[in-house]
Structure 1
């Protein structure tokens, strides 16, 4: 359903520029009901709204963004790679995108930086129906797994296997269109799929009415950064302290949603015609809340990153071949505008 957001093969910048509507420089402020001047800002998601995005809608409902002087417009995305491109081109003020797509974008010259990764434990996983009995990586031997050529999951799957004493030849990866992976498992064409525990799994369980089992990469020796807040130079350099205020507001919204997950999910009502059922949204967000920290950031505010975690993530995607020319952490992450604690 949302799997296309996992693809990291970047589309040409010219294509994005031709199809996206650029943000104008006029009419960039508004006035709140209490008479406060607000900066208008756009946030383009990685995909159509699903459970992971609840904090943004909850933050709007609770006026957290207004508190930080921001009149926020949330837009649906069409995959992390397109969000990275649009953000770098200044067609949206902020983006919510997968870190592999950010790394690959910077590698290709896209002018974008992370303001902080919020999903610091990867939701990357092998997902199958519990009845298949896939309880450990070794149980994947001889199985057929739906994957999408070139995306971050398929690129890191061989690393996951090697860390667990296996080789890619032990498993058959069937190249499958992202939108068709769930159907492939439900129909029995594949035994499992490569997906995000916070995304496809709950949808698959809802559609098939069968329990889903997960082999999470992070629980079997391989972790890397996932989704986070990004901005391009037009926002970072041309709109004063907006980026720092936005980062603080997003962090506060996530902290508030973590305390009240039910109301946070309820705040998504009407967000999109493609919105998953409420029970799927709830399960997606419940899983998302298990991804907010690494050992280095446990107890810190949502979105607080460390240089060491960034380095490990860069190393993983360099090994996976998604980053051809690894750069210093500062080329990917603007720590000065991020969350410090």
Structure 2
């Protein structure tokens, strides 16, 4: 009997050790397919940083900020990546989303076109076809862009084009304009050269926060320490990748197939520019400023409308960030 009791005890202890080692299974739903801007998650995972605090991270491929905002907001995933203005739109529709860390302190939203198609700027957009996926942040926020440049929101037609097929769709003239993130700018320059035209939303005064780490509000309330650990490890990983991208790129390429090394290196150069502003370089990498958030809320309310207005302070927090970890401005180049 004593032997059986000892055996049962050993079995229980082993089971507990395995569970502690494995950690709690936590999902992160990306905004798009994995690329350089997601590499810090893959790097931290490869280093075992999440595992050390009891998090078994599962990274899910995304289908747009609109989709990730709704998935996290419904509780189907505890964490996600989403364009912050798009998240505010989703929250206005009842999604329980809270922003925890900005990744793109500057908007990455950019429209691209070919001059040879007769497009030279937003005034030439009416009557044209714009290619992007249904959940694309620029499609969600299109009314804001259209009003800002003075064209009717219904003057263009949208064509469903997958994230990896945008350049090919533009080249084949399936569409005449595409939306994409600024971090892919060099890839398009290499493909189209002087024929390429582009406009970043920041250049027309629409500099809403871009991709950000978001969480389900109910999950955040229930697991505050886990959320803090997740945020701080993610923040640490982004800082490490800014300091030296090579190990992060290796982790990304080891875990994700089909990516080109040179393309991801070029993207990371642009991403560092998008990560830096007066707050991320002084208050903490990933810092979300209340003043800027107020402007983003007003932008959504003015141009799109807020179905269910909510207290802005309930939609974001920078309290989980480690203020000692700051964005290194010396690493930024445009």
TM superposition score category, shorter chain reference:
0.7 to 0.9
Report the equivalent of 1:277. 260
What is the match of residue 142 of structure 1?
A: 124
Query: C-alpha root-mean-square deviation of aligned residues, in Å?
Result: 3.4
Query: Deviation at 1:308?
Result: 0.7
Deviation at 1:181, TM superposition (A): 4.2
Q: CA deviation at 1:316?
A: 1.4
1:325 matched to which residue of 2?
308
Which secondary structure does the structure 2 equivalent of 1:74 belong to?
strand
SS for the counterpart of 1:183 is helix
The answer on 1:250 being equivalent to 2:234 is: yes
For structure 2, list consecutive stretches of 5 or more residues without a partner in the other structure. Answer: 1-14, 325-334
User: Mapping of 1:125-136 within 5 angstroms?
Assistant: 125-129=110-114
The yes-or-no answer on 1:220 pairing with 2:204 is yes
More deviation in 289-298 or 50-59? Answer: 289-298
Task: Confirm or deny that 1:238 pairs with 2:214.
Answer: no
Matches within 5 A, 1:49-64: 49-64=34-49
CA distance in 2, matches of 1:140, 1:240: 44
TM-aligned CA deviation for residue 307 of structure 1: 0.7
Deviations for 1:46-102, whole angstroms, at most 9, x for unmatched residues? 222122111111122233334545332322223333323332343323212222332
Provide the TM-score with structure 1 as the length reference.
0.75
Q: Which of residues 301, 309, 315 in structure 1 aligns to 2:292?
A: 309
In structure 1, what is the Cα distance between the partners aligned to 2:114 and 2:282? 34
| CA distance 1:27–1:156, shift in 2 (3 Å) | farther
CA 1:306–1:66: 2 relative to 1, 3 Å: same
> 2 CA distance for matches of 1:319 and 1:116?
24
TM-score by length of 2: 0.76
Partner of 2:328: none
Is the alpha carbon distance of 1:110 and 1:247 closer, same or farther for their aligned partners in structure 2, counting shifts above 3 Å? Answer: same
Deviation at 1:116, TM superposition (A): 2.0
- Give the Å deviation of 1:334: 3.4
Q: Is the 8 A contact 1:116 1:230 kept in 2?
A: yes
Unaligned runs of 5+ in 1: 1-25
Which SS does the other structure have where 1:222 is aligned?
coil
User: What are the Cα deviations for residues 120-139 of structure 1, in whole angstroms up to 9, with x where unaligned?
Assistant: 210111213577797xxx74
**Equivalence for 2:160:** 177
Once the 2 structures are TM-superposed, how far is the Cα of residue 234 of structure 1 from its aligned partner?
4.4
Shift of 1:329: 1.7
Distance in 2 between residues matched to 1:65 and 1:85, nearest whole Å: 25
User: Map of 1:36-55 to 2, 5 A cutoff?
Assistant: 38-55=23-40
CA distance in 1, matches of 2:217, 2:153: 45
Q: How does 1:65-80 map to 2 (within 5 A)?
A: 65-80=50-65
The aligned length equals 304
Match of 2:76 among 91, 100, 116: 91
Query: 1:54 touches 1:264 (CA, 8 Å); kept in 2?
Result: yes
Match of 1:287 in 2: 270
The 2-side partners of 1:162 and 1:233 are apart by 32
Partner of 2:89: 104
State the distance in 2 between where 1:328 and 1:172 align: 33
How far residue 156 of structure 1 moved from its aligned partner, in angstroms, is: 4.2
Q: Cα gap change, 1:112/1:133 in structure 2, threshold over 3 Å: closer, same or farther? A: same
Distance 1:190 1:108, change over 3 A: closer
Which structure is larger by alpha-carbon Rg, 1 or 2? Answer: 2
Note the alpha carbon deviations across 1:6-44, whole angstroms, 9 max, x for none: xxxxxxxxxxxxxxxxxxxx9998445xxxx84443222
Q: Select the structure that is richer in helix.
A: 2
